[in-house]
């Protein structure tokens, strides 16, 4: 059979051998999404086990602060007490946890996604999603753009006040970014800004504001204060949202803002947003990870102490299954978050002779690994929902049937509201990313498809205890790439309009990144408990891959072509499916969790 760019209507018949694979895909180091084409489970990724001593100390400092300062004030934070939130933010700054991305003198920044992730995760121990949201606003939406894009003069004039927690700042909501217009002043020294927009702040707005203005069609970020002549806060128009933040309507009436207060450059608004968005997604996903662990620990304490029919509810098999599900999702999210943070760190790392500015480095890293950042955001919310529902089930199992812990459920709803910035559109964008990278050949999917043209594609078995899982994932990747190619061949540019197919493909890409991250981490740790977690996680995800591919094939093919494709799929599923007693694995995982009395993976 000739090798052609378009894969014929057959799935690869995979033969497992003890030798090396005949045609392993080349590794791609200069773009995201490489997990789809690289060999499964063998990449040396960053994991939490590789945290430095300094990072561990910083993590412990943040955890102690969360337990001793945030948790005791959780009631006041739930009541949206702005004074309490402000005091806690200042104490956070006193510990240096707001200034983690700044070096002395402000001449350089040293963005460390890994350290930022560990701190964001640790703060979840305070069990206050309100404070998590306030901290994210201060660091992701305000400090990150200012640290990255302000010059030395701008830094010296205002950054210290923000890093100290003394001064609040506000950022413009996305829907109002086109509301402010500006033109150059007659003396060419300032921009004259007019219009009105809403701004978000952690307290009643009284400090710096970051307006995005349209200057001759170019979106530009400025910074100014309410003290500027012509800037007016609309009275009786400030609103508190569920997350404790203020939404403020601000009017600009021919406001003169000096050119020296342009952040980055004229027309640099998109770069400012793009380069900080994905850094923020890693922190937010790390916060979600911390809350997943808190959910497990809270449920665990209740399950071990509460009894039904003279037996602790933790020891019922159904309860063990719930705890195992929480552990599997949380372990996978942990592996994905720190892998992605490691990618960003490595990409941003400055090298001698590199003439690019730090914001150019960050923008490139943000674009390069945007797909991984999008995936952990989506998977994080799934993991959070899993742990919340499982914890609710454990807690409600000891209550009378007509009773519920309504206070806890309200807090859960708030947690999901505060941390959930993921919609259906985000999931569809995962497939859109792979489509774009394939068409411009930044990902070697076409080469990978050509390698799959033969009747048999050999895959090597390794000596790893996870060899079966690695080979199953390799087949799953081949099926996914095949399906993606067939969808593209049939639907062409209309693929993105077939949202059900696109969503299935996105689910496959997400599952592959999750399984691959777990396998890479467990292979590096060589720990029997980690191996059990990964085996149980992969059993169910691999089954789901086969199911989703089958659903998509029914949409793409008809008649004899469908029958032939399904026949090949069933043959591949027979080799791919992992034949384990997953119930037994989950019971063993839960029992190990019980013996440690806390999440420890």
Q: Pick the most confident of 92-106, 236-250, 334-348, 508-522.
A: 508-522
Q: How far is CA 254 from CA 191, 221, 262, in A?
A: 9, 17, 17
Helix (H, G, I), strand (E, B) or coil at 392: helix
Q: Is pLDDT at 443 greater than 80 in this prediction?
A: yes
**Fold annotation for 49-168:** Butyryl-Coa Dehydrogenase, subunit A; domain 1 (1.10.540)
Yes or no: say if 536 and 582 are a contact pair by the CB < 8 Å rule. yes
Distance of CA 278 to the CA centre of its chain: 8
The CATH number for 270-424, chosen from 3.30.420.40, 2.70.70.10, 1.20.140.10, 1.20.1370.20, is 1.20.140.10
pLDDT of 303:
93
Task: Band the pLDDT of 242: cuts 50, 70, 90.
Answer: low
Structure tokens at 497: 């309009």
Mean pLDDT of 260-287: 85
pLDDT of 424:
53
Assign domain 13-44+426-596 to its CATH architecture. Up-down Bundle (1.20)
pLDDT of 208:
76
Assign domain 170-263 to its CATH architecture. Beta Barrel (2.40)
* Per-residue pLDDT tens digits for 15-28: 444 333 333 333 43
pLDDT of 511:
97
Name the helix (H) or strand (E) containing 190.
strand 190-201
pLDDT of 425:
57
Q: Is pLDDT at 306 greater than 80 in this prediction?
A: yes
The residue extents of the domains of the chain are: 13-44+426-596, 49-168, 170-263, 270-424
β pairing state of 181-184 and 212-215? parallel
Mean pLDDT of 288-314: 92
The values of phi and psi at residue 422, to 5°, are -115, 125
Helix (H, G, I), strand (E, B) or coil at 61: helix
Q: Which of 148-162, 213-227, 556-570 has the lowest mean pLDDT?
A: 148-162
DSSP 38-54: SPTT------GGG--HH
**Which residues lie closer than 8 Å to 440 by C-beta, 6 or more apart?**
none
Task: Band the pLDDT of 106: cuts 50, 70, 90.
Answer: very low
Helix (H, G, I), strand (E, B) or coil at 233: strand
pLDDT of 589:
97
Instruction: Answer yes or no: same fold for 13-44+426-596 and 170-263.
Output: no
pLDDT of 176:
78
Q: How far is CA 436 from CA 428, 488, 498, in A?
A: 13, 11, 16
Yes or no: say if 296 and 327 are a contact pair by the CB < 8 Å rule. yes
CA dist 292 and 391 (Å) reads 10
Q: How far is CA 340 from CA 47, 118, 372, 380, 420, in A?
A: 9, 13, 6, 13, 19
pLDDT of 81:
77
CA dist 308 and 503 (Å) reads 42
């Amino acid at each position: 059979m000739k090798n052609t760019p378009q894969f014929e209507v057959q799935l690869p018949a995979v033969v497992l051998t003890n030798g090396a694979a005949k045609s392993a895909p080349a590794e791609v180091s200069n773009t995201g999404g490489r997990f789809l084409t690289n060999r499964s489970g063998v990449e040396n990724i960053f994991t939490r086990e590789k945290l430095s001593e300094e990072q561990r100390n910083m993590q412990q400092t943040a955890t102690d602060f969360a337990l001793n300062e945030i948790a005791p004030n959780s009631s006041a934070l739930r009541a949206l007490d702005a004074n309490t939130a402000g005091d806690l933010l200042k104490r956070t700054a006193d510990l240096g946890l707001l200034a983690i991305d700044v070096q002395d003198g402000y001449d350089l920044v040293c963005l460390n996604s890994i350290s930022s992730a560990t701190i964001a995760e640790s703060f979840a121990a305070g069990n206050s999603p309100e404070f998590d949201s306030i901290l994210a606003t201060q660091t992701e939406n305000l400090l990150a753009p200012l640290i990255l894009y302000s010059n030395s003069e701008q830094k010296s004039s205002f950054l210290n006040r923000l890093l100290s927690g003394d001064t609040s700042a506000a950022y413009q909501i996305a829907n109002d970014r086109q509301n402010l217009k500006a033109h150059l002043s007659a003396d060419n020294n300032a921009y004259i800004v007019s219009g009105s927009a809403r701004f978000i702040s952690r307290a009643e707005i009284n400090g710096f504001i970051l307006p995005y203005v349209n200057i001759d069609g170019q979106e530009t970020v400025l910074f100014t204060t309410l003290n500027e002549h012509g800037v007016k806060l609309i009275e009786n128009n400030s609103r508190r949202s569920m997350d404790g933040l203020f939404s403020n309507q601000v009017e600009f009436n021919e406001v003169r803002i000096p050119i020296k207060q342009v952040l980055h450059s004229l027309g640099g608004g998109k770069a400012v947003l793009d380069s900080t968005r994905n850094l923020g997604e890693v922190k937010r996903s790390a916060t979600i990870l911390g809350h997943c662990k808190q959910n497990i620990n809270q449920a665990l304490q209740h399950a071990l102490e509460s009894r039904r029919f003279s037996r602790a509810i933790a020891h019922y098999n159904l309860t063990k299954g719930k705890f195992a599900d929480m552990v599997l999702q949380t372990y996978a999210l942990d592996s994905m978050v720190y892998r992605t943070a490691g990618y960003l760190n490595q990409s941003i790392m400055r090298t001698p002779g590199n003439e690019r500015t730090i914001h150019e480095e960050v923008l490139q890293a943000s674009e390069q690994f945007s797909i991984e950042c999008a995936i952990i955001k989506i998977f994080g919310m799934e993991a959070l929902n899993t742990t919340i529902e499982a914890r609710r089930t454990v807690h409600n199992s000891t209550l009378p049937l007509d009773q519920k812990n309504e206070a806890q459920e309200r807090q859960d709803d708030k947690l999901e509201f505060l941390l959930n910035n993921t919609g259906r559109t985000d999931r569809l964008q995962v497939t859109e990313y792979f489509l774009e990278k394939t068409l411009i050949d930044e990902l070697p999917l076409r080469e990978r498809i050509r390698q799959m043209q033969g009747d048999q594609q050999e895959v090597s078995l390794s000596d790893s205890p996870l060899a079966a899982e690695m080979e199953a994932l390799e087949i799953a990747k081949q099926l996914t790439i095949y399906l993606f190619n067939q969808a593209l061949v049939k639907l062409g540019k209309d693929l993105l309009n077939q949202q059900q197919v696109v969503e299935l493909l996105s689910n496959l890409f997400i599952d592959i990144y999750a399984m691959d991250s777990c396998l890479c981490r467990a292979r590096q740790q060589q720990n029997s408990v980690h191996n059990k977690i990964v085996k149980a996680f992969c059993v169910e995800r691999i089954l789901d891959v086969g199911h989703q591919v089958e659903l998509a094939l029914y949409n793409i093919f008809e008649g004899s072509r469908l029958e032939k494709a399904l026949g090949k799929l069933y043959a591949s599923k027979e080799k791919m499916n992992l034949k384990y007693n997953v119930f037994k694995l989950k019971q063993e995982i839960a029992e190990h969790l019980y013996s440690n009395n806390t999440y420890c993976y």
